[in-house]
Amino acid sequence: DAKRNGRGRLIWFDSEKDRSENALSQLLKQIENALDNDELVLHFQPKVNMQTGDVLGFEALLRWQDPNRGLVPPGEFLPHIENHPISITVGNWVIQTAIAQIERWKSEGIRTSVSVNINSLQLLAPNFVPLLEEQIHSHSGFDPADLELEILESAAINDIQLASNVLEQCRALGIRASLDDFGTGYASLNYLKQLPAETLKIDQCFVRDMQREAGSKAIVRGIIGLADAFGFQVIAEGVETEEQGKELVALGCLAGQGFGIGRPMPAAQVREWLAGWHSAQSWLDK
């Protein structure tokens, strides 16, 4: 351990820690600036019924349009701040912006629902539900059914009692929830039965490996069966090819999302994507 290695080693540990704390406080400052300067943007990725071609909605995915670095993906900054209160501020911005976008689309004749990713700190914060209620009511005429929450399976089971309670209150407001990256979070069946969520999102790693790995295909099949048994909807993430889509439909999972259907795109491109999607002869011969 550190002590046995002598004083020099301890100093090294300390400076290493300082360095990472320094990096974090720098990142926090940059994100505060990003919020102030409107550098955060949402991109939207379609979810469809792969059999009928119906568009089921869009998932809002956060990006940071950094003037120096360009478009920064969420994996490069969200994980570093997930336990810090600023992630709640960012999360509230995401909800507010998604609601505003739904309303803007509605006024332009595009009626669709949007799901937003919620981290565990945000979900379990004492004022999450009141704030959500305030946000949906600040837009008169907003239909809460057009908003959906995506909660990581792992976050939901972290504090299952509280998470269930919060999701129950959201459901009472008319807001649905899905369990994201499902299959990677070790939810016990007993927990699953308690969770007031509507949808299981099959993690993309299983979809990716499904066709060359019997185990992954078995997991996909298992999640679909589980969803059926517990009364959940099911959607597959990471659908990159028509082959994967066909396989999923054959297994009974009709809903899909992935690069093969549509990549996450700026709000301004959604109308054009919709037109192209609806005019295409077939995706799975729809």
Residues that bind Mg ion (CB under 5 A): 117, 150, 180-181, 237
Q: Which of 147, 135, 137, 201 is nearest to 171 (CA)?
A: 147
Of positions 176, 204, 219, 273, contacts ligand C2E by CB under 6 A:
204
119 binds, among Mg ion, ligand C2E, none (CB under 5 to 8 A by kind): ligand C2E
Of positions 34, 88, 94, 197, contacts ligand C2E by CB under 6 A:
94
Residue 8: HSE in the Cβ half-sphere, 13 Å Cα cutoff: 1
Q: Which of 154, 162, 1, 183 is nearest to 79 (CA)?
A: 154
Binding mask 240-269 for ligand C2E (x = CB under 6 A): x-----------------xx----x-----
Q: Does 238 bind ligand C2E (CB under 6 A)?
A: yes
* CA separation for the pair 116, 123 (Å, rounded): 12
Give the nearer residue to ligand C2E in terms of CB position, either 136 or 202.
202
Give the nearer residue to ligand C2E in terms of CB position, either 140 or 277.
277
Q: Which of 145, 210, 204, 134 is nearest to 171 (CA)?
A: 145
Q: Which of 196, 124, 132 is nearest to 158 (CA)?
A: 124
Alpha-carbon dihedral 267, 57, 107, 269, rounded to 10 degrees: 20
Give the nearer residue to ligand C2E in terms of CB position, either 50 or 94.
94
Q: Does 75 bind ligand C2E (CB under 6 A)?
A: yes
62 binds, among Mg ion, ligand C2E, none (CB under 5 to 8 A by kind): ligand C2E
Q: Does 180 bind ligand C2E (CB under 6 A)?
A: yes
DSSP single-letter state for residue 1: -
186: left (phi over 0), alpha (psi -120 to 50) or beta: left
- Where along the sequence are the contacts to ligand C2E (CB under 6 A)? 45, 61-62, 73-75, 78, 91, 94, 117-119, 150, 180-181, 204, 237-240, 258-259, 264
